[in-house]
Structure 1
Amino acid sequence: MCHPNLEVKEKVKEAAQALKKPSFDVQRVRQDFPMLQQKLNGKPFIYLDSAASGQKPQVLIDRLSDFYANEYGKPNEQHTDSKNATEMLEETRQKVADLIKAKDSKEIVFVRGCTEAINVVASGFARGLLQEGDEIITTLMEHHANIVPWQMAAQDAGAVVKVVPITATGELDLAALENMISERTKIISLVHSSQILGTINPIKKITAMAHRKGVPVLVDGAQTAPHMPLDMQDLDCDFYTFSAHKMSGPTGVGVLYGKADWLEKLPPHNGGGEMAETVEFEKTTYSSPPKKFEAGTTSFADIIALGAVIDYHNALGMQAIADYEQELLEYGLEKLNQIKGLHILGSAPEKEPVVSFTIDGVDVKDLEKYLNNEWGIAVKAGNLASQPLMKHLNVDKALRASYCYYNTKEEIDTMNQAIEAYLQTKA
């Protein structure tokens, strides 16, 4: 049998060499994404919905295909292919740890997505770390995935959910947050960056504030992990969650980072094989983290393939990605602000590459369909899974354009042209 992954590793290496240029070569990057070569409704496909899910590079597709065709084996068995698969899975775990600068790969738990990662922590708190009258703090700018699990945990434990307000610019009211923290506060769970407002929250400052009062912090990094370098030692949060699919990785894979002492304290979320050390009808003892939280057979092929995507991102450089996407954001904001009657939600000085907006007299769901059907542009419109925030902003729907390192300024121009054309049809 051939050495596992050699051909695909060479492809990643070749892509890395091609990407190492003085400036960010977006046209070279776009060649690595098959979907971006397609047409949608007869038009060149323009994908501006990366906040929902990222497009996939060829290295991911090749890695999955190669594993299934030439290397398949279930991890944690004793035959050769299984041992190779186990080694490759653990290599990806280490790559994730290195990517976010965790202290140890054992602090990396693989789950099905960011939503499940939050549920693992919320259910663990409900089953052993919350008592009646305790408090959970979250914020007004959360995705439903960081609201509903905590409501369920509060209901199960008799706890209370408290909500941090936001300012007129769409930033967290930090003074209100500090005043909310009490002796009954057991955890603060908040988003790193808002998938509607784009606001990047000052996590390091918030974590320091919470830790002074002995309160742990969970950070939902679903929208941030794809767009900037991360350092868990610097942020000092106790838990951090994100999904692979939003960072151009495979579907069905999420990451829960947890400090070692918290993963030891937290009860497991699911029971089954792999997570149990000894099983008797009278009592079961659990494996040590991270296996304690990885019951059953994980999406191991996809986890292994995630390693190839991390290699690809490292070849581009996360800081280079962040810098280029900020260029796109600034350009997009400038162009959208030229459209009469268009209102951008959120004006925080630090934002991720996402812009949500409304237009006077326009049903943004109709505009979404028009952009898709007439111009081949993929965006997202609706309540964007943040109904409490939308209610606070006094809007029922907004349209969101989210930029990624494979997008271009020309695509932003085309979207603006399309919006102006739509407005002409309504004039």
Structure 2
Amino acid sequence: MTRSRSEPDDGAGRPGFDYLSGDAVYLDSACQTPRPQPVIDAVQDYYLHTGACGGRVKYDAGRRVDAQVQAARERALAAVGVSPRRYSCAFTLNTTYGLGLLLSSLPQGRFARIVTTVTEHNAVFLSTIAAARRAGIPRIVLERGDDGSLLADGDEWRDAVVVVSAMDNVIGMVTPGLRDLIAAVHRAGGIVIVDAAQAAAHALEALRGLDADAICFSAHKMYGPSLGAVIATNELLLSLDPVIVGGGQVSAVSRDDFTLLPEPHSRLEPGLQAWAEIIGFGAAIEWLGGFRSAHGETLAVHEHRLATRLYEGLAALPHLQLIGPAPTPVISVLPERVDGHRLATFLARAGISVRSGSFCAHHWLIERRGLGPLVRFSIGAHNTDADIDRTLARMAPMMAGL
């Protein structure tokens, strides 16, 4: 496959990813992204030169950790364009953990129902099932239109906890009308928790300035270490009744009671935190901010350009059904004459790493659509035109030979 004159030359390399082997193509960024060198350096620097606890010591190393962690919180809030006066950033294990902590800590008796959608992946789907069971309230699963919009008449929003993805996990479709949805739910006395695991990485503009009550996402899908983040309103955080309570969350303890700290983020941060990972995530956000100057194009343009080439190339191959209607950084296909897991194995042997299966969207893909294992190609900042060329060159004889 030839490259047009208007497309960047891969000879410039992969800024930030010089350590990656040129013999391998990694197309599983929807799971986790490679980490650019500045992130690796930040984590290594913590272990080599700091290694201190944050939030509880007075010596210099601990104070440096506190400053770097606070900077990471501020960068995360700025990345999604929300006010630090109204919102706080808490760090958790991952998106699933953040969603679970929020839902399990909501005040009992405050909400009448939990609402989600048919296309949600397991982080949302399973946590809403468990939360509705614990609270003894109904759980409503909405259908979606072909454009990803939620099909609802509005009655569902009354005193509801609405948990919805901003970008799905299978075909990368951005949920339209999120701002209007949030406004409608708020008018009906409900709250909205946004699963931004994919959107934070691939559609950050869709989140900026969003008036959601909480936004949950993962640093490891945004070129940071394995870590989760919850950006939530101070009002919501301070209303929580934490299901896990430990050091770092309390200002006083008596024989049979305790007093929680006034800082809203502490409601979701029991015990010692992942200081190196938090600092590394701060470095990742900073690195993302400089992507355009290093690459000559924004990350969104970079991903869309490569996704379009890959999508069109896959569409031209025989015995392959594309699941999504248009190019996105997350492209899933259904092989017609070979099991998806086998095709992924064949690609792995050719040095191309992709994901196969149902991508934690079991209800939507298996129960509702009756689809077997899919193959997912997900693009990231480290990918180049050469990666797309090599993938299509390997795929063409595989599919033609079936």
Note the 1:104-183 alignment, pairs <5 A: 104=84, 107-125=88-106, 128-130=108-110, 134-167=112-145, 169=146, 171-174=147-150, 176-183=151-158
Evaluate the alpha carbon distance shift between residue 335 and residue 197 of structure 1 in structure 2; reply closer, same or farther with a 3 A threshold: same
> Deviation digits for residues 259-315 of structure 1, max 9, x if unmatched?
111111122242100101211122111112112221100001110121111111111
- Residues 10, 385 of structure 2: 8 Å contact kept: no
Question: 1:379 matched to which residue of 2?
Answer: 354
Question: 1:62 matched to which residue of 2?
Answer: 41
- Residues 157, 184 of structure 2: 8 Å contact kept: no
> Deviation digits for residues 81-103 of structure 1, max 9, x if unmatched?
11111111111111111111221
Which whole-Å CA distance do the structure 2 matches of 1:92 and 1:387 have between them?
34
Superposed displacement of residue 129, structure 1: 4.6
- Residues 269, 293 of structure 1: 8 Å contact kept: no
Evaluate the alpha carbon distance shift between residue 233 and residue 381 of structure 1 in structure 2; reply closer, same or farther with a 3 A threshold: closer
Which whole-Å CA distance do the structure 1 matches of 2:9 and 2:397 have between them?
30
Evaluate the alpha carbon distance shift between residue 66 and residue 361 of structure 1 in structure 2; reply closer, same or farther with a 3 A threshold: same
Which whole-Å CA distance do the structure 2 matches of 1:26 and 1:228 have between them?
24
Counterpart residue identity of residue 238, structure 2: E
Superposed displacement of residue 343, structure 1: 1.2
Question: 1:258 matched to which residue of 2?
Answer: 232
Gaps of 5+ in 1: 1-22, 39-43
TM-score, normalized by length of structure 2?
0.90
Counterpart residue identity of residue 209, structure 1: A
RMSD value, Cα: 2.3
Query: Between the two proteins, what is the percent identity of the paired residues?
Result: 25
- Residues 118, 143 of structure 2: 8 Å contact kept: yes
Counterpart residue identity of residue 65, structure 2: A
- Residues 142, 194 of structure 1: 8 Å contact kept: yes
The answer to whether 1:304 aligns with 2:279 is yes
Equivalences, count: 389
Evaluate the alpha carbon distance shift between residue 25 and residue 413 of structure 1 in structure 2; reply closer, same or farther with a 3 A threshold: closer
Which whole-Å CA distance do the structure 2 matches of 1:232 and 1:224 have between them?
7
Note the 1:340-359 alignment, pairs <5 A: 340-347=318-325, 352-359=328-335
Note the 1:4-403 alignment, pairs <5 A: 28=12, 30-34=14-18, 36-37=20-21, 44-76=23-55, 77-104=57-84, 107-125=88-106, 128-130=108-110, 134-167=112-145, 169=146, 171-174=147-150, 176-183=151-158, 185-202=159-176, 203-230=178-205, 234-251=209-226, 253-288=227-262, 289-317=264-292, 320-347=298-325, 352-373=328-349, 375-391=350-366, 392-403=368-379
Gaps of 5+ in 2: 1-6
> Deviation digits for residues 71-120 of structure 1, max 9, x if unmatched?
22111211111111111111111111111122117611111111111011
- Residues 239, 256 of structure 1: 8 Å contact kept: yes
Which whole-Å CA distance do the structure 2 matches of 1:299 and 1:278 have between them?
23
SS in 1 for 2:116: strand
Evaluate the alpha carbon distance shift between residue 113 and residue 393 of structure 1 in structure 2; reply closer, same or farther with a 3 A threshold: same
Evaluate the alpha carbon distance shift between residue 260 and residue 178 of structure 1 in structure 2; reply closer, same or farther with a 3 A threshold: farther
Evaluate the alpha carbon distance shift between residue 35 and residue 166 of structure 1 in structure 2; reply closer, same or farther with a 3 A threshold: farther
> Deviation digits for residues 329-364 of structure 1, max 9, x if unmatched?
2222111110123211132x6x64111010212211
Counterpart residue identity of residue 313, structure 2: K
Select the structure that is richer in helix: 1
Evaluate the alpha carbon distance shift between residue 139 and residue 29 of structure 1 in structure 2; reply closer, same or farther with a 3 A threshold: farther
- Residues 318, 399 of structure 2: 8 Å contact kept: no
Counterpart residue identity of residue 323, structure 1: V
Evaluate the alpha carbon distance shift between residue 339 and residue 24 of structure 1 in structure 2; reply closer, same or farther with a 3 A threshold: closer
- Residues 164, 173 of structure 1: 8 Å contact kept: no
SS in 2 for 1:296: coil
TM-score, normalized by length of structure 1?
0.85
Evaluate the alpha carbon distance shift between residue 86 and residue 234 of structure 1 in structure 2; reply closer, same or farther with a 3 A threshold: closer
Superposed displacement of residue 224, structure 1: 1.0
Which whole-Å CA distance do the structure 2 matches of 1:160 and 1:390 have between them?
24
